[in-house]
Chain A
């Protein structure tokens, strides 16, 4: 059965090998170039005492668009999309056809009537495919992690939703889940195209649900309050309301900020612009008109003067690998469901 599985899928294994080689050919020079440029810039900036601006300087040199999509207005780059798509492609093109194709071609009736039990056939097939998937995704993610190190150091963003899904061991868990789901839908629908489409849909749903609703709660987040006298505070203003956010915690580089909002001195959330600061926000105060003094004042300084500050919750950077381990474990555990269902479908249902 091992020989036959190899014989049946050697072309696919070869394709996966080629894909890895191509990625390595791209990622290794890129990673070396980034790291080298970063080291050079570090030496130069020490001489000119401009290391505080290093990030912006490199940012403007153009390569930050690849390194840090979140820092640019465009969001994801094509390169990142390609890397993030890896588990999806495996699920759709390795997982979904695995059993669906046997049903569609009728070859299940050939192979299930050899002197090998269907159970053994399925077990060996799944083992080969899932182990190959894990190895492929592992090497793939290791390459991504390696070439991203300059970006990780510079931008401290490897906890961000995009980077988290690309680096470390999470991609392995996600790829195994993706392929398991593909196999199950293939066995369920017996048609590759339908299985492929449903697999894609479910994977997208998981990829949206986990970072938004599950990952933030894997461990109890830390709380902190920040003064309004700092850079990087995002302000949005409504009719008579405002909201303040921070993308990062200055004292916690690399931390993942889950939420941030303005609070008053007693810790109550504030969304309405205090009357004293309406002038600073350029909000007309009815008939009287704003005083010149208030209008020239900085809105944040005015809010700070009213005793406001920012409350934020975050996951500290040192939890990164805990989160990677937990989430990879969750994906692997979830994979057991489609695998179990696949056994049931293949063994209990008619050919």
Chain B
């Protein structure tokens, strides 16, 4: 019973997943669970293994350790598996000599569940010239073509690797709007995992967050829950800061006050009257974890 339930509610489960290049671990001990229908942000500093993780999930790369289960299957190169996954690589690779139309024809010929009407209407709406070689399109237009190619596959899981990194702010907003629209249209049938450094952008569309840093999974939860369990405590200087009620992620001191970013261990934690409890935003929380991971990495 448990297994069946897991299959229906979990899109991705990775257990101790790792990838080694020579003696260097690009990804290590990655343990994540991504629920079906979620839009998950994959964040972390450069070199944390975000690209590696996404490549492992679409079997462009094979794991050196651990395992992953995606939509109830082990990632593989079969048509049956690949038709369920939409993937957009970081550099948005397209055949630069080929026109947009030819790329759609490619999808129509090669993809099992191809929805040409969807791709055409999306791109026409964005006024992308269908007859032009993609090498002559702007970066934003290329990203939209890449997204259209991934979405028109009608995937159950969409993996996007830094899709907005190279885009100007306007194109970035347009891209994320398209993505959010697509996720809404799919009505919970589509799971999205998108990596980025741009936290503000992710907050706009994502409901879950995975934070990879220092070769570990630091966070993997719904954003709502992360916000609910992390607080900013402001209190007097020179007072013991540790408490069984929380774990300190980041501690900073000003002239006469101490700031703590903490993860609550106890849902009913109440601070003493000398401490003020504030909500933290997701950006602060993520940054705190990244700094902590960096310090631990430096100490090692």
Contacts and interface: CB of A to CB of B under 8 A. Distances in A.
A96 to B, nearest CB: 18
A110 interface: yes
A158 to B, nearest CB: 43
Nearest to A347: B77
Nearest to B82: A115
Interface in A211-265: none
Nearest to B113: A115
A115 B112 contact: yes
Contacts of A347: 77
A8 interface: yes
Contact of B77 (A8, A105, A112): A112
Interface stretch (B87-95, B185-193, B263-271): B87-95
A294 to B, nearest CB: 77
B16 interface: no
A254 to B, nearest CB: 50
A7 B106 CA distance: 9
Interface residues of B, number: 31
A292 interface: no
A114 B113 CA distance: 11
Nearest to A2: B109
Nearest to A107: B93
A4 B109 contact: yes
B62 A350 contact: yes
Contacts of B149: 110
Contacts, number: 73
B95 A114 contact: no
Contacts of B113: 115
A8 B95 contact: yes
Contact of B109 (A3, A113, A350): A3
Interface string A99-136: 00000011111111111111110000000000000000
Interface stretch (B53-61, B165-173, B202-210, B241-249): B53-61
A208 interface: no
Contacts of B96: 105
A272 interface: no
B198 interface: no
Contact of B60 (A7, A8, A105, A113): A113
Interface in B41-91: 55, 58, 60-62, 77-79, 82-83, 85-87, 89, 91
B106 A114 contact: yes
Contacts of A43: none
Nearest to A105: B93
B110 A114 contact: yes
A106 B91 contact: yes
A110 B110 CA distance: 11
Interface string A328-351: 000000000000000000010011
Given A7-B98, A7-B105, A115 B111 contact: yes
Contacts of A110: 89, 93-95, 149
Nearest to B21: A350
A270 B110 CA distance: 72
A116 B110 contact: yes
Nearest to B80: A115
Contacts of B83: 115
Nearest to B52: A350
Given A106-B89, A106-B91, A116-B79, A351 B60 contact: yes
B107 interface: yes
A134 B128 CA distance: 41
B197 interface: no
A211 B31 CA distance: 60
B60 A115 contact: no
B241 to A, nearest CB: 45
Nearest to A11: B97
A218 to B, nearest CB: 41
Contact of B82 (A1, A3, A108, A116): A116
A120 B79 contact: yes
Contact of A106 (B78, B93, B109): B93
A3 B106 CA distance: 8
Contact of A4 (B94, B110, B153): B110
A113 B61 contact: no
B87 A109 contact: yes
B102 interface: yes
A4 B95 CA distance: 12
B207 to A, nearest CB: 25
Nearest to A350: B61
Nearest to A348: B62
A4 B105 CA distance: 8
Contact of A1 (B86, B98, B109): B109
Interface string B95-124: 110100010011101111100000000000
Contacts of B91: 106
Contacts of B109: 1, 3-4
B93 A350 contact: no
The 8 residue pairs across chains A and B that have the minimum distance between CB atoms: A106-B93, A115-B83, A351-B60, A114-B110, A350-B61, A109-B89, A113-B87, A115-B112
Given A109-B60, A109-B89, A112-B77, 13 more contacts: A1-B110, A8-B95, A105-B96, A106-B89, A106-B93, A107-B93, A107-B95, A111-B110, A115-B110, A115-B111, A116-B79, A117-B78, A117-B79
17 contacts: A3-B105, A4-B106, A7-B98, A7-B105, A110-B94, A113-B58, A113-B82, A113-B87, A114-B153, A115-B79, A115-B83, A115-B110, A115-B113, A117-B78, A350-B55, A350-B61, A351-B60
Interface of B: 55, 58, 60-62, 77-79, 82-83, 85-87, 89, 91, 93-96, 98, 102, 105-107, 109-113, 149, 153
